[in-house]
Amino acid sequence: METLFDILGWTGSGLIILAYSLTLIKNKEYLEYGKYLNLFGGLLIAGNCYYYNAIPPFVTNLLWSVIATLTIYKRKSEKRKCNNTQCLT
């Protein structure tokens, strides 16, 4: 079981690093992917931290995932609002 949580933690770290690297690309489509990578990466790291009873990084990564979720939700709300008013983004 320990190996599984190690793999999940390392995968989460890789996803967050990949998300950050996508911010260096000037393509909005890649930025959209980055939000999901942050969400899933944070959740995987949080799971790893919880397993190892590392509460401070668990809380940090859980909040990281909440922020990513709010960002995704906000963007989807803006798109819906924009589609209803025919605005350009």
Q: How far is CA 6 from each of CA 48, 60, 62, 65, rounded to the nearest angstrom?
A: 7, 18, 17, 19
Neighbouring C-beta atoms of residue 10, cutoff 10 Å: 13
Q: According to the model, what pLDDT value does residue 68 have?
A: 93
What confidence tier does 78 reach under pLDDT thresholds 50, 70, 90? Answer: confident
Helix or strand (DSSP H, E) at 7: helix 2-22
Q: Which domain holds residue 81?
A: 2-85
Instruction: Name the domain count of the chain.
Output: 1
Contacts of 49 (CB under 8 A, 6+ apart): 9, 55, 57, 58, 61
Digit-coded pLDDT (tens) for 52-71: 999 999 999 999 999 999 99
